[in-house]
Amino acid sequence: MGMLAPAGALILMFIAYPILDTLWMSVNDVNQFGQSSGFVGLSNFTDLFGDADFRASFYRTVVWTVAVVGLTVLISLPLAWVLNFRFPGRAVTRSLLLLPWAASLVITSLLWRWMAHPDFGAVSRGLEMLGLIDQRVEWLANPELSFPLMIWIAVWVSIPSTTLILLAGIQGVDPQLYEAAAIDGARSTRILRSVALPLLRPVLAVAVLLQVIHVFNSFPIIWVLTEGGPAGSTDTLVTYLYKLGFRLYDMGGAAAVSVLMFLILLVFAVIHTRLMWKDVAK
Amino acid sequence: MSLDLVRPHKKRHWLMVSGGLLLLLSLMLFPFWEMLATALKSRGDMVEYPSRWMPEQPVWRNFIEVWSYVPLARYFANSAIVALGATLLNAIAAIPAAFALARLSFPGRRVFLYFVVATQMFSPVVLLIAFFQMMVGFGLINSYWSLILINASVSLPFSIWLLTAYFSAAPKEIEEAAILDGAGRWRMLFTQFMPLAWPGIATAMTFTFILAWNEFLFALTLINNSDMRPLTTGIYAFVGRNEIMWNYLMTASILAIIPVFVVFLIIQRRLVAGLASGAVK
């Protein structure tokens, strides 16, 4: 099939082969040049489980993913609902909302790193102005402050696309359904809950799945703000993987982290799909 | 629009809704205010304490000086080469593949489709280590090709998926007419189907372009020669200097955001449609 050849070649070479190679590396002792000094079975994996930093990173990644995706949906859904009404300035609002999305994650992360500066940063300045803090705060030196801040940044960059997907979903619902409910005298929030939400469920479900995959694997925010530090206290699995592979040159270990990350997402995707399908079947 | 019927009726509710919206919007947008304010600050303004929301004397000159402070033009060119190359390669691969999947029947078609869907689940991160090794083997570290290949490939499943939907939607008569004309598959694709599927092609290409333009992790790993850096890692390299010039960094950031933001504004509707189709299918 000549028509499939270019796509097939790219996918086989640059997606399928690296996946297989990763699997192979995860069960071998591999140096930084990718040369194996022998099959080691599952010892790369058992090494990981024995590492307290890995376990902490794993736990942190779960918190990170749940918090970011949860908060994003909680904020985006009402926002999409409101943006659906006609009001002066709606077009401008929608366009401005594209800004955090258009900027690349590195740039927004750098912007927030600057805003978190203890002396000249806008975060401290704003909170001081509101009277919420009255002393110098080292936002990035303390994981109890930096991690929630990074969660907010991830939510902040995720809101635009999520809101726009949900908005498209809301507008895709047959307007007559809304009308009927409105004529029945239902309040706006009721209509959102009992008419729009059930119809939005499939869109929401897949949006959440994609978002979970994306956030679980997100790298730039944490890398730019703290590099997972201080002392690994804000590492997620991706930054842990990156350090293992490119700072400690333990390619086998890094490959094992990749395999585990893939398996975790796979299990999540299967459970998620099962649950959603059960709901649809009901 | 009849949707207006569903908006809040009571004035009190309207006030609450618009108050909440304003609060959220200012939270969303104030970082960009800070970005602009910082970009317009002089060296002196940067170390003024307490710092200001806006410099007294905005220094627009920063937007010119930043080009000589870092090789910004070079970074722009690198990003453009990588993103355009990836988009082109992606289109060359995705368009015929999607056409074949949508309009032709052949053994293994379903398997290929499932494979495409499955690869969508893979995060590029998982490929990083193996892809890096491979590029070392090919001698493509610090080459545009490494970034073009990876960016074109990771966007490929999405492009194929999106375009297959567009090609499937075309009416059967077009195909029949083309066959009567004695047109081969490729001619049918070029003369009949591509013009019809143009909105889909444009969407897929825009997505590929933007993903490649904004990509960070692979650029960080595969490029360590500062002349070859794209904008993302080029701007990030500011941080490695002993004194971070945040005002220049923000100036460069604004310059980097503008092209993408303009594209987003132009294709706003299509962007959402593309995203939604990724979410729905």
Q: Which residue(s) pair with A39 in the sheet? A: A28
Q: Is B270's pLDDT higher than 80?
A: no
Signed CA dihedral, A39, A264, B271, B258: sign only = negative
Q: Contact, B207 vs B213, CB < 8 A?
A: no
Report the distance separating Cα A172 and Cα A178, nearest Å.
Answer: 11
Peptide bond into A230 cis (omega under 30): yes
Contacts B112 to A, Cβ<8 Å: 4, 8
Q: How confident is the model at residue B281 (pLDDT cuts 50, 70, 90)?
A: very low
Q: Which residue has the tokens 């990035």?
A: A140
Give the 3-state secondary structure of residue B4: helix
Report the distance separating Cα B55 and Cα B45, nearest Å.
Answer: 7
Distance from CA of A35 to the nearest CA of B (A): 9
SS3 content of chain A, % helix, strand, coil (to 5): 75, 0, 25
Contacts B4 to A, Cβ<8 Å: 85-86
Q: Does A17 touch chain B (CB under 8 A)?
A: yes
Q: Does A202 touch chain B (CB under 8 A)?
A: yes
Q: Which residue has the higher pLDDT, B267 or A104?
A: A104
Q: How confident is the model at residue A181 (pLDDT cuts 50, 70, 90)?
A: confident
Q: Is A80's pLDDT higher than 80?
A: yes
Q: How confident is the model at residue B11 (pLDDT cuts 50, 70, 90)?
A: confident
What is the arithmetic mean of pLDDT over B159-188?
81
In this prediction, residue A202 carries a pLDDT of 76
Binding-face residues of A in 35-74 toward B, CB within 8 A: none
Give the 3-state secondary structure of residue A240: helix
Q: Which residue has the tokens 């004309």?
A: B181
In this prediction, residue B125 carries a pLDDT of 80
pTM of the model: 0.87
Share of chain A above pLDDT 70, in %: 96
Please provide the average confidence, as pLDDT, over all residues in chain B. 84
Q: Is A280's pLDDT higher than 70?
A: no
Report the distance separating Cα A124 and Cα B49, nearest Å.
Answer: 12
Least confident of A105-109, A231-235, B173-177: B173-177
Q: How confident is the model at residue B176 (pLDDT cuts 50, 70, 90)?
A: confident
**Burial class, A30, CB count within 10 angstroms (exposed 0-12 / middle 13-18 / buried 19+):** buried
Could you write out the DSSP letters of every residue in B152-194?
HHHHHHHHHHHHHHHHHHS-HHHHHHHHHTT--HHHHIIIIIH
- Neighbouring C-alpha atoms within 13 Å toward the C-beta of B278: 27
Q: Is B222's pLDDT higher than 90?
A: yes
Q: Which residue(s) pair with A28 in the sheet? A: A39
In this prediction, residue B8 carries a pLDDT of 58
Report the distance separating Cα B274 and Cα B202, nearest Å.
Answer: 10
Question: Are B97 and A265 a contacting pair at CB < 8 A?
Answer: no
Q: How many CB atoms lie within 10 A of CB A125?
A: 18
Q: Single out the residue of A125, A138, A154 nearest to residue A220, CA to CA.
A: A154
Q: Is A100's pLDDT higher than 80?
A: yes
Q: Where are the alpha helices (DSSP H) in chain B?
A: 11-39, 43-46, 62-69, 72-103, 109-121, 124-138, 144-169, 172-180, 185-188, 194-196, 198-214, 217-222, 231-236, 246-266, 268-280
Binding-face residues of A in 215-274 toward B, CB within 8 A: 216-217, 219-220, 224, 238, 241-242, 245-246, 251, 254-255, 258-259, 261-262, 265-266, 269
What is the arithmetic mean of pLDDT over A67-73?
95
Q: Contact, B216 vs A105, CB < 8 A?
A: yes
Helix (H) or strand (E) holding A72: helix A52-83
Structure tokens of B107? 């053994």
Question: Are A122 and B34 a contacting pair at CB < 8 A?
Answer: yes
Please provide the average confidence, as pLDDT, over all residues in chain A. 86
In this prediction, residue B10 carries a pLDDT of 65
Among B28, B125, B150, beta carbon nearest to A97: B28
Could you write out the DSSP letters of every residue in A90-144?
HHHHHHHHTHHHHS-HHHHHHHHHHHT-TTT-HHHHHHHHTTS--S---TTT-HH
In this prediction, residue B181 carries a pLDDT of 75
Distance from CA of A47 to the nearest CA of B (A): 18
Contacts A226 to B, Cβ<8 Å: none
Q: How confident is the model at residue B153 (pLDDT cuts 50, 70, 90)?
A: very high
Q: Single out the residue of A246, A226, A237, A235 nearest to residue A48, CA to CA.
A: A237
Q: Is B277's pLDDT higher than 70?
A: no
Q: Contact, B230 vs B86, CB < 8 A?
A: no
For residue A19, what are the contacts with CB-CB under 8 A and spacing of at least 6? B122, B126, B127, B130
Radius of gyration of chain B (CA): 24
Structure tokens of A263? 């398996």
Q: How confident is the model at residue B79 (pLDDT cuts 50, 70, 90)?
A: very high
Question: Are A34 and B137 a contacting pair at CB < 8 A?
Answer: yes
Distance from CA of B81 to the nearest CA of A (A): 17
| Structure confidence by residue, pLDDT tens digits, B22-62 | 888 888 888 999 999 998 988 888 888 788 888 888 889 88
Q: How confident is the model at residue B157 (pLDDT cuts 50, 70, 90)?
A: confident
| Structure confidence by residue, pLDDT tens digits, A33-64 | 777 778 888 888 988 899 899 999 999 999 99
Report the distance separating Cα B50 and Cα A213, nearest Å.
Answer: 41
| Structure confidence by residue, pLDDT tens digits, B88-144 | 999 999 999 999 988 888 888 888 877 777 776 667 888 888 899 899 999 999 999
Report the distance separating Cα B215 and Cα B94, nearest Å.
Answer: 20
Q: Is B245's pLDDT higher than 80?
A: yes
In this prediction, residue B2 carries a pLDDT of 43
Q: Which long-range contacts (CB under 8 A, 24 or more apart) does A17-24 make?
A: A17/B130, A17/B134, A18/B127, A18/B130, A18/B131, A18/B134, A19/B122, A19/B126, A19/B127, A19/B130, A21/B130, A21/B133, A21/B134, A22/A255, A22/A258, A22/A259, A22/B126, A22/B127, A22/B129, A22/B130, A23/A255, A23/A259
Q: Which amino acid is at A178?
A: Y
